[in-house]
Amino acid sequence: MKVTINDVAKHAGVSIKTVSRVTNNEPSVKQATIDKVNDAIQALNYQPNLAARNLAGTSSYVIGFIYDNPNAYYIIDMQNGILSACKDLGYELLIHPCDSKSADICEELIKLVKHNRLSGLVLTPPLSEDPVILAALDEIDASYVRIIAGEKVKDNNGLAVLVNDKSGAISITQHLIDLGHKRIAFLSGDEQHESTKERLAGFKQALTNNDITLDDSLVIDGQYSFESGVEGAKQLLSQSDKPTAIVACNDEIAAGALFAARLEGVDIPADISIVGFEDSPFSRQTWPKLTTVHQPNEKIAQIATELLIAKRRAQASEHSRIFVPEPVIRDSSSSPK
């Protein structure tokens, strides 16, 4: 027989209303009462009725994950991280892919929040970096947390989890320089992503730190896709003065570059070193396995969701967190000939 809120109240020796206040995380309940109710919940393995909770209030116990990103591995990691936090904290997850370039994107998100009475949104790039979208959400007083690239929060616009892509790019480029590479190329991701700008800035900074002059012909515009990596590598390999190493803006691009190089009979890493960024499954599915930069996307998403829910419960002790990606050295990088 299913355990009900009545059973919990009876076991804890409190009223049904008190159990409801505890499960809804209302701040005025005494800690001794909270402990008593939680002990009863655990003893009886009680599962609160989320549907009833959603109907009872002005907002639901649902967090929305909003994304526009072609990288399936990134989306899965984000989804798993958010879901982990939601399960631990008694929330459900609504997943909503969208087109950030759509003329109706603001209206779409506003309708989503209102129709589902969402408790909050987890926003990923490029949505989290679009001031027009953020302003529209602020207009309806929507709660959200941004996952963004950067070294620090550049404004006071609410909650944010930052990824220091610039530092990661400096580190991975320095790894190649320490191996002896000087003619190093860079394959970019989508220009509307701040991560692209930050990773390119880190690449350039590493060259400057080592008195290496940047050759603009070695910086290739592109997108965060395998196909973009293929096309970018073909451009680089067609040059008379080929690079000895390539820094790709993510692992998917790097995998495409490696594929193109192998089609041309170029040995990796003997003829050219290729490194990626993010440490996604792409980096471990290539041959050779990619040297890359570890970015803990699942943990980033989990922390972002915890910050969002803590704010809703008026329990927030911090408004931002920063992650610094670190290099993972594998088989696709070595000293030049």
| CATH number (domain holding residue 82) | 3.40.50.2300
For residues 15 and 87, state if they share a domain. Answer: no
Q: In tens digits, what is the pLDDT along the chain, a chain of 337 residues?
A: 677 777 888 888 988 778 777 776 666 678 888 888 888 888 888 876 554 454 445 557 899 999 997 788 899 999 999 999 999 998 999 999 999 989 999 999 999 998 888 999 999 999 999 989 998 998 888 999 999 999 887 765 589 999 999 999 999 999 999 999 999 999 999 998 999 999 999 999 999 999 999 999 999 999 999 999 999 999 999 999 999 999 999 999 999 999 999 999 999 999 999 999 999 988 999 999 999 999 999 999 999 999 999 988 877 667 889 999 999 999 999 999 8
- Is residue 220 included in any domain, yes or no? yes
Core vs surface per residue 232-256: b (16+ CB within 10 A) or e: bbbbbbeeeeebbbbbbbbbbbbbb
Same domain? 26 vs 101: no
Whether residues 106 and 130 fall in one domain: yes
The CATH number of the domain where 10 resides is what? 1.10.260.40
- In 3D, which of 167, 153, 237 has the Cα closest to residue 203? 167
C-alpha–C-alpha distance, residues 50 and 242, integer Å: 59
Do residue 32 and residue 70 come from a single domain?
A: no
Place of tokens 């987890």: 122
- Does the residue 202 lie in any domain? yes
Q: Are residues 172 and 282 in the same domain?
A: yes
Q: Are 253 and 220 in contact (CB under 8 A)?
A: no
Q: Domain range spanning residue 240? A: 165-295
153 shares its domain with 70: yes
Paired tokens of 332: 């696709």
Residue 30 counted as domain residue: yes
174 & 284 share domain: yes
Give yes or no: residues 260 and 182 share one domain.
yes
β pairing state of 62-67 and 92-97: parallel
Rounded to whole angstroms, the Cα distance separating 135 from 60 reads 22
In this structure, the answer to whether residues 101 and 78 fall within a common structural domain is yes
User: Domain total for the chain?
Assistant: 3
Residue pair 335/179 in contact (Cβ under 8 Å)? The answer is yes
